[in-house]
Structure 1
Amino acid sequence: MKRDKIIFYAVTGLLSAMMLMSAGMYIFNYEHISAEFTRMGFPLWIVYPLAVAKVLGVAAILSGLVKELKYMAYTGFFFNFVLAAVAHLQTNDGEFGGAVVALVLLGVSYFFDQKVQKEATKASLASA
């Protein structure tokens, strides 16, 4: 159980850092990001809301206060990463690696979140 928690927090920490850096880039390097979004055919109005969504998604996953919000954040990140990978593949710019790494981190984080939750449930039932 301890190993699973360590893996969950390490991988989720990496994913969270990646998302927070991405959100920061969207906000503080808007000129570069807007040029990339335009090149890939995305509307520019989505840049700031996507940055906010990434920060809120990280908060939902790390806090775990509301289970449904945490799983909505996982789902939103999944679609964001898949769509980012597809957009980079379609434009043939060779920049899809970050989205693939994010997808792997997301999958591992979700898998170990599920394991930790099951183990916590078993432990609480056993002690009751």
Structure 2
Amino acid sequence: MATIYTYWISTALLTLLYLSSAVMYLTKGKWVRQALAGLGYPAYLVPLMIVVKVLGPAAVLSRVNVGLSELAYAGMFYHLLLAGLAHFAVRKPNEALPAIVGLALLITSFVTQNAARGIASPYGLF
């Protein structure tokens, strides 16, 4: 039972992190473009990232297809890993904290998904 709660809490917090980030990208577009430019990323990634930050958690939560859910987990893993590394690369480790927290939530959600979902993932542990 604790594993089920762990899954849903970590997945809900991860979804909240991604959706709040998408809302920030929408409402503070100029600031986000400047922040991404400071990390060395082009501004044209902002609209794509808004879509990804909405569709990734939607694929994990809906679990219409296990393969699609696994692909969303993988994409979110690489996104969070590269976001954290980008902040470390420009010597701003304090700004990497959301990515580190997101990685912890993502790993927790991924590892505990089989306990809470009807269709098991071949890669989940519990």
Q: TM-score, normalised by structure 2?
A: 0.88
Structure 1 pair 36/121, CA: closer, same or farther in 2 (3 Å)?
Answer: closer
- In structure 1, how many angstroms separate the alpha carbons of the residues matched to 2:86 and 2:11? 24
- In structure 1, how many angstroms separate the alpha carbons of the residues matched to 2:98 and 2:109? 16
Q: Is there any run of 5+ residues in structure 2 with no aligned partner, and where?
A: 121-126
SS at match of 1:99: helix
Q: Deviations over 1:9-31 (max 9, x none)?
A: 11100000000000111111101
- In structure 1, how many angstroms separate the alpha carbons of the residues matched to 2:119 and 2:66? 14
Q: Deviations over 1:74-124 (max 9, x none)?
A: 00000000110110001112301111000000000000003445xx579xx
Task: Tell me what 1:108 maps to.
Answer: 108
Structure with bigger helix share is 1
> Do structure 1's residue 19 and structure 2's residue 18 form an aligned pair?
yes
Q: 2:66·2:119 contact (CA, 8 Å) conserved in 1?
A: no
RMSD of aligned residue pairs (Cα, Å): 1.5
For residues 59-98 of structure 1, the aligned pairs below 5 Å read 59-93=58-92, 94-98=94-98
SS at match of 2:64: coil
Structure 1 pair 65/33, CA: closer, same or farther in 2 (3 Å)?
Answer: same
Bigger Rg, which one: 1
- In structure 2, how many angstroms separate the alpha carbons of the residues matched to 1:43 and 1:31? 13
Task: Tell me what 1:126 maps to.
Answer: none
- In structure 1, how many angstroms separate the alpha carbons of the residues matched to 2:111 and 2:65? 18
| Alignment: residue pair count | 119
One-letter code aligned to 1:72: L
Q: Could you tell me how far 1:7 is from its partner in structure 2?
A: 1.2
Deviates more, 1:88-97 or 1:9-18: 88-97
- In structure 1, how many angstroms separate the alpha carbons of the residues matched to 2:103 and 2:45? 21
Q: Which runs of 4+ in 1 moved over 2 A?
A: 114-117
> Do structure 1's residue 57 and structure 2's residue 56 form an aligned pair?
yes
